[in-house]
Structure formats: C-alpha cells, structure tokens
Amino acid sequence: MLAKIREMNEKAYKATRKGRLKLRPSKIKWIDMSTTERIGPSAALALASEFHRLHYLGQTSSTAIDIHRWKPEVIESLRQIGLLDILKITSKSKKPLVNVGTTAILPLRSAKSVIGAEADELNGEIAGIVSQIDFSDELRSEVYDVLVEAMDNVATHAYPDNAVWAFTHAKAWWMTAAVNADERKLTVVIYDQGVSIPVRLPTWQNYYLADRLLQRLVSRFFGTRYEVSDRTKDGLVIRTAMKVAVTSTGKSYHGKGLPRMKAFIEKCRGGSLRILSRSGEYRFHKKDKVKSDKDLSHDVELGGTLIEWEVSY
Amino acid sequence: MSNAIAETPEVNGPASYIKIAEDYSRTPGGRKKVTGPFSGEEFREKLLVPHLKSALSGHGYVNVVLDGVAGYPVSFLEEAFGGLVRVDHFAKADLNNVLKITANSGRFQTYSDLARRFIETAENE
C-alpha cells in the first residue's frame, strides 16, 4: 500500500512492513533504503512512525545500513521528517544535504491522546514557511479542525481493546506537513497504526445504512456478499463510509468527522483528500468547481489509516 | 425534525459570559475527557452546565463567545453543545431561552451555526 503513496516504491513498502514485524525485542532491527529513489511526506511519515513506535515501547533504536548507497533526496526527506534523529544518525550540518526542490517537510509530531496544541504548533511551523497572506486564518482553522478531529478518531476508534494485533502497538498518531513553494501546495498528513476504517465501520450506529449499500453494490458488481474480512473491497468500504456519513442524519453522532475531512477540500480553491486504510484507498479531488472521487483496493495492506490533504494556497 | 439552523435566540436579563479562549482553552480538543485535555465533554461539564443551571434558576442568560481559538473540531462542538440535550437532558426550548452562542468574526460564525445545529438535532440518550 505504501507503494501507492506518492513517490515511494513497492520495495520500500515491503521493507516497511517487514520492518514492523522485525521491530520486536531480540529481533534484527535495520532499515535499508538504498533502492528507494524518492520518498514523499506521507510515505516518510508512515516509515518514520514504524521506528518512532519503538520509543513509545521503550525499545532501542534500529540501525540503518548501507547509508552511503541511499539516494541523497531520500536521506534529505528522512532527515527533515526526523527519522535520522530517531535512528541516531547525526549530521554535522543543519543545511539541506541536497537540493530536493522547494518542498519542505516538517518534523513528525506524535502523541497518544488528542492534543490541540500539537496541531496549533504545526500550524505555527507552516506559517513560518508560507506567508501570512497565503496561510490565512481560515486555512489555519481548517487544518486545525481536521487534524484534531483525526486525532479524536484515532484516540476513540483506532486501537480497540478487543483487537488482535500482529505487533505491539503504541496507540499513537503521527502527523506532519509539507510545503511546496513552487507549486504553492500544502500537504498535511496524519497516520495511525490502528485497526482501520473497514474493521471499525461495523461499530457505527448507522452501520446498517452502510451495510445495506455495500451489500447492494457488491452483489451487483461482484455477485457475492460483502464480508468485513474481504480486503479487496476496502476502497469501496471507505467510499461508502464517507457517503453514509455525509448523507445520514438522525440521532447518531458517529462518523461526523469523515464529512469534515472532505469539507476541508470542498472549501478550498483546489485540492485533494486521500484516505488509505487497511487495503483500501479513497480519493476526492477538486479543481476549480469540478469535483471527483474514486476508490481503489491494493494488494498490500497499509496497517492502519493514513489521511492526506493537499491544498493549493 | 427540521435540519434548519436555529437563529441565535433573543435572550434577556443579565449575561453570564464564557469566553472560551480566555476561560477554557485557545486549543480545544476532541470529544471525551478520556481522550485528552480541553475536550468538549470537559467544557460542557465544567463551564457550560453550571452556567446554564445558574441562568435557568435565575433570570439571566449565558453568552458563549467562540472567537479567539485555533479552531473547533466537530466532535468538540457536538459533545459540548449537542451533549447538553443528549447527555444532560436540557430542553431545547430552555436552551433557546438562556443560551446565546456568539461569533464576533465571520470565521467563527460557521462554528456558531454548527453548535446551534447540534443542539437542534440532538436527541436524549
């Protein structure tokens, strides 16, 4: 799945998934990025979170190997997001190791609870890069709202006590932002390693609406019944969850956060929302007044939920 | 039930102000206390409910001023304001009489509308 996250290749993703399984006491702990050409903010965040999780678990840092063979662009992106610090790879210079264009990735932030101040401080860092005029108070509020809402979703839903885990989780979220000054684009990302939207959806109060719609769609297009364990429909599940959350009213207050994630993009001149969860992906795109959305399901599982907003400013 | 946004009602008597940015936090959190600091639940329990009870027992009203914060996640707003009906079982008519939600700048008007809508659409749990 991370291979589908912009600018990260399949091999890097597999290394990440392998890494999660290896990040246990008494196991070999290493990271080799020598075959990765480039890495964007979302993929860098997901990768860094794998190693940052060890800090929460009180375990020792992992080791990077063959760094001399890593692409300078990859090293610089990982340095910016803070992975080199996590791996205790020190650089004498604070200057960029290589020109990676005008994209600046902010250091990852992480916590186990809903901390509005973290989103506010990230906004402050963005404002340090983007001019006051471009990063308006309205845009700052939007970023704050969706990030804190996403933190709340993580804290409330992502790590249920009764879940069975293939690894030791930290019950945390990780977030970052990136600014591309040339293209005047702001990217904001939040990631968790929880059970995912497809797994949690049946606990929604309005799940019967989603289930009814899913069964109808799956029966019509695939000739089968939908089962939660069926990862090949995860993209459709996320899209359906979004649709039901947007259109359903009534006493249920579950799922009100999802429409808010999309509304952020709808208010902007142009931008996109990407939600990757388990094996599914949902994309919503807006350019000028034209809106479109689609869903995908991937062969490889992400292991959690990643939400990415990219907006033009 | 109507989905129309209720207008901020005309309220009378002495005002009891809750300026969220000054009296609570400039960085509101999520829905429940258990998930982190400055939640909507904590705001409702610590500030909103005591002020409203006081207003209902007298002849004044509560004016909640939304301006000056970093933003409001929907879960915070729903828990703080929708929770008055869902959890604390305030009558919507009473809230119309004693609760004013103020946004002095346009940026916060959306939040004010949303808070009102959450009260209107909430049902007792």
- Predicted local distance difference test score (pLDDT) of residue A1: 45
The candidate with the shortest Cα–Cα distance to A12, out of A31, A36, A44, is A36
Tokens standing for residue A46: 């997901």
Over the stretch B34-93, which tens digit does the pLDDT of each residue have? Answer: 999 999 999 999 999 999 999 999 879 999 999 999 999 999 999 999 999 999 999 999
Can you tell me the distance from the alpha carbon of A105 to that of A306, in angstroms, rounded to the nearest whole number?
A: 17
Tokens standing for residue A246: 């947007």
CA angle A133, A136, A141 (to 5 degrees): 165
The CA distance from A97 to the nearest CA of chain B, in Å, is: 34
- Pick left, alpha or beta for residue A81 (phi over 0 → left; psi -120 to 50 → alpha; otherwise beta): alpha
Interface test with B, best of A115, A141, A148, A154 (most B CBs within 10 A): A148
Residues, chain B, total? 125
DSSP state of B7: P
* Distances B19 to A146, B59, B62, B69 between C-alpha atoms, Å: 23, 20, 11, 10
Interface test with B, best of A256, A261, A264, A267 (most B CBs within 10 A): A256
Mean pLDDT confidence for A9-36: 56
Q: Chain A residues contacting B, CB < 8 Å? A: 113-117, 119-120, 123, 137-138, 140-145, 148-149, 151-152, 155-156, 249-251, 253, 256-257, 260
Q: Please list the alpha-helical segments (H only) found in chain A.
A: 10-22, 41-56, 72-81, 83-86, 116-127, 137-153, 197-200, 207-222, 234-247, 257-267
- Look-up: residue for tokens 């990040």? A23
Contact B29 A149 (CB under 8 A): no
Q: Are B124 and B85 in contact (CB under 8 A)?
A: yes
Contact A156 B27 (CB under 8 A): no
Contact B74 A145 (CB under 8 A): yes
Provide the 3-class DSSP secondary structure of residue B71. coil
pLDDT classification of A280: cutoffs 50, 70, 90: very high
pLDDT classification of A257: cutoffs 50, 70, 90: confident
Using an 8 Å CB-CB cutoff, list chain A residues near B72.
145
Over the stretch A290-301, which tens digit does the pLDDT of each residue have? Answer: 999 999 999 988
C-alpha of B74 from chain center: 12
The CA distance from B49 to the nearest CA of chain A, in Å, is: 20
Provide the 3-class DSSP secondary structure of residue A271. strand
Over the stretch A68-103, which tens digit does the pLDDT of each residue have? Answer: 888 888 888 999 999 988 887 766 555 555 555 678
| B63/A contact by beta carbon, under 8 A | no
